[in-house]
Structure 1
């Protein structure tokens, strides 16, 4: 298992262009959700925090 330590992770970041585009879209969606969450926090400061948003599905392989 020595070959699969944390030092191996960077090699997995080189996706095909299609996946990179899908990942970028997913990141945009997450950022949008995060921004909406921040707006909600400002508007309803005294209420309990909203439940976490559903996780974004992985980009299709």
Structure 2
């Protein structure tokens, strides 16, 4: 992965953490996700998006 992509993902994670845009609920109270949790989630989304898709399965449905 390129250096620009790593920088982009870290900036995005920092922005989301600072603004408190991603939260989870614990005991009925909303809490912001940590920057590290957000970065992990972003990496997972990018990884899933880059997986090759099997178009044969889509045609059969």
Instruction: Pick the TM interval, shorter chain.
Output: 0.3 to 0.5
Q: Which one has the largest radius of gyration?
A: 1
Q: Which has the higher contact order (CA 8 A, sep 6+)?
A: 1
Give the structure with the larger strand fraction. 2
| TM-score, normalised by the number of residues in structure 1 | 0.40
| TM-score, normalised by the number of residues in structure 2 | 0.40
